[in-house]
């Protein structure tokens, strides 16, 4: 055996061992989710990364010599599993749903500092054609005079803490529910009620959230604090919950705090659905969650060219009884 072949063989064995370990961690993360602090780290392993690791491991096995089915079984199984998860979680199949007179187009976006002061962010929001814009970490671009320049003379801004709701529809409620900077971690919840003219007097009740980003903070602890804060603040029934959750699909936060709600992009999203980081989105941490009184016709993400977050656009209608 030549020296290069021996080195390649050692690399293949090393890659195979690493693949076993990474694959076990990834599968554990899929099963356990973020129920516990230790498991949330594993749940954040991107399936795209797992697919690439499996492809590299399989490629090295093939380079060593004639493919051996026993050695290829692991990378092949992990590659297929990772691709299935990518297609299920991060990719929405193309669809076409005709416009409806009662649909409301909602744009959700976290313009994390300093993008809330960036004129490019204002232009990005203004050109999406949204009926309701839900902006977290609002900045100078959501001042009333600024908004009327990029959203039209009839637009109004209703602010609650770090949140801004921008619309031409009547807004009959806007109040803070919870706000905290405890432990150096900032998070907030606000409630809005909008009256879409085409909904015949039926309100659209919206909760906006901005949850802690510190990776070491257990999501289970966030869920417990959020549930308590919403009860104390009397959030009440809502139809839409939107914002930067800093949590993945099916997080303990969604299951505990918003049982029965569905992720709009998981329900009817198209295209690449991950929202963070914007330049190479691998995780969907920004969500628009829907209650039983509304349903999603379609949804997609938009690269605004600024901020670390992608935009999320959804078309919602009242659910039929």
What CATH code is carried by the domain that includes residue 192? 3.60.10.10
| End residue of a domain, out of 89, 112, 145 | 89
pLDDT tens figures, 70-80: 678 888 899 99
Whether residue 119 lies inside any domain: the answer is: yes
Whether residue 140 lies inside any domain: the answer is: yes
Mean pLDDT along residues 208-212? 96
Confidence of residue 64 (pLDDT cuts 50, 70, 90): low
Are 169 and 83 in the same domain?
A: no
Are 160 and 15 in the same domain?
A: no
CB under 8 Å to 146, separation ≥6 — which residues? Answer: 122, 140
Are 85 and 112 in the same domain?
A: no
Are 31 and 60 in the same domain?
A: yes
Q: What is the pLDDT of residue 19?
A: 85
Are 45 and 162 in the same domain?
A: no
CB under 8 Å to 173, separation ≥6 — which residues? Answer: 191, 192, 193
Whether residue 97 lies inside any domain: the answer is: no
Q: What is the pLDDT of residue 83?
A: 94
Confidence of residue 5 (pLDDT cuts 50, 70, 90): low
Burial 158-180 (b: 16+ CB within 10 A, else e): bbbbbbbbbbebebeebeebbbe
Whether residue 208 lies inside any domain: the answer is: yes
Instruction: Answer whether residue 117 shows pLDDT above 90.
Output: yes
Are 150 and 77 in the same domain?
A: no
pLDDT tens figures, 33-57: 999 999 999 999 999 999 998 888 7
For the chain, what is the domain count?
Answer: 2
Q: Is the pTM of this model over 0.75?
A: yes
Whether residue 95 lies inside any domain: the answer is: no
| End residue of a domain, out of 89, 115, 132 | 89
Q: What is the pLDDT of residue 321?
A: 57
Q: What is the pLDDT of residue 62?
A: 73
Mean pLDDT (the chain) is 91
pLDDT tens figures, 215-237: 889 999 999 999 999 999 999 99
pLDDT tens figures, 126-184: 999 999 999 999 999 999 999 999 999 999 999 999 999 999 999 999 999 999 877 66
Does residue 121 or residue 14 have the better pLDDT? 121
Whether residue 99 lies inside any domain: the answer is: no
Q: What is the pLDDT of residue 124?
A: 97
Are 78 and 121 in the same domain?
A: no
Are 176 and 298 in the same domain?
A: yes
Instruction: Answer whether residue 13 shows pLDDT above 80.
Output: no
Are 136 and 204 in the same domain?
A: yes
Q: What is the pLDDT of residue 185?
A: 73
Q: What is the pLDDT of residue 298?
A: 96
Q: What is the pLDDT of residue 280?
A: 95
**Of the candidate ranges 5-14, 126-135, 294-303, the one whose mean pLDDT is the lowest:** 5-14
Does residue 260 or residue 10 have the better pLDDT? 260
| End residue of a domain, out of 28, 60, 89 | 89
Whether residue 242 lies inside any domain: the answer is: yes
Does residue 116 or residue 6 have the better pLDDT? 116
Are 24 and 120 in the same domain?
A: no
Q: What is the pLDDT of residue 215?
A: 83
Whether residue 226 lies inside any domain: the answer is: yes
Are 80 and 121 in the same domain?
A: no
Domain around 311: 104-318
Are 268 and 132 in the same domain?
A: yes
Q: Strands (DSSP E) along the chain, which ranges? A: 91-92, 104-110, 132-136, 156-160, 163-167, 171-180, 187-194, 204-210, 240-244, 262-263, 271-272, 286-290, 294-302, 311-318
Confidence of residue 239 (pLDDT cuts 50, 70, 90): very high
């Amino acid at each position: 055996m030549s020296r290069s072949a021996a080195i390649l063989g050692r690399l293949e064995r090393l890659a195979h061992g690493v693949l076993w370990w990474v694959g076990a961690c990834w599968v554990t993360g899929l099963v356990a989710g973020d129920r516990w602090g230790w498991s949330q780290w594993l749940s954040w392993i991107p399936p795209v990364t797992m697919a690439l690791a499996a492809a590299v491991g399989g490629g090295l096995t093939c380079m060593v010599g004639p493919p051996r089915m026993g050695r290829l079984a692991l990378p092949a199984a992990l590659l297929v599993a990772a691709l299935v998860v990518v297609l299920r979680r991060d990719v929405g199949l193309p669809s076409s749903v005709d416009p409806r007179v009662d649909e409301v187009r909602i744009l959700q976006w976290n313009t994390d500092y300093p993008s809330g002061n960036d004129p490019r962010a204002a232009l990005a929001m203004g050109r999406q054609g949204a009926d309701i814009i839900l902006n977290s970490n609002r900045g100078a671009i959501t001042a009333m005079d600024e908004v009327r320049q990029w959203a039209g003379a009839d637009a109004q801004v209703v602010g609650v803490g770090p949140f801004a709701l921008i619309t031409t529809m009547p807004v009959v409620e806007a109040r803070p529910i919870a706000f905290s900077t405890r432990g150096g971690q900032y998070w907030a919840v606000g409630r809005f009620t909008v009256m879409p003219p085409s909904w015949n007097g039926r309100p659209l009740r919206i909760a906006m959230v901005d949850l802690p980003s510190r990776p070491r903070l257990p999501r289970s602890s966030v869920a417990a604090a959020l549930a308590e804060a919403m009860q104390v603040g009397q959030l009440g029934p809502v139809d839409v919950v939107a914002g930067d959750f800093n949590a993945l699909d099916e997080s303990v936060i969604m299951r505990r705090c918003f049982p029965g709600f569905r992720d709009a992009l998981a329900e009817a999203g198209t295209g690449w659905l991950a929202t963070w980081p914007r330049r190479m989105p691998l995780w969907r941490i920004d969500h628009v969650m829907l209650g039983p009184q509304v349903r999603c016709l379609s949804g997609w993400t938009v690269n605004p060219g600024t901020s670390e977050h992608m935009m999320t656009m959804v078309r919602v209608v009242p659910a039929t009884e």
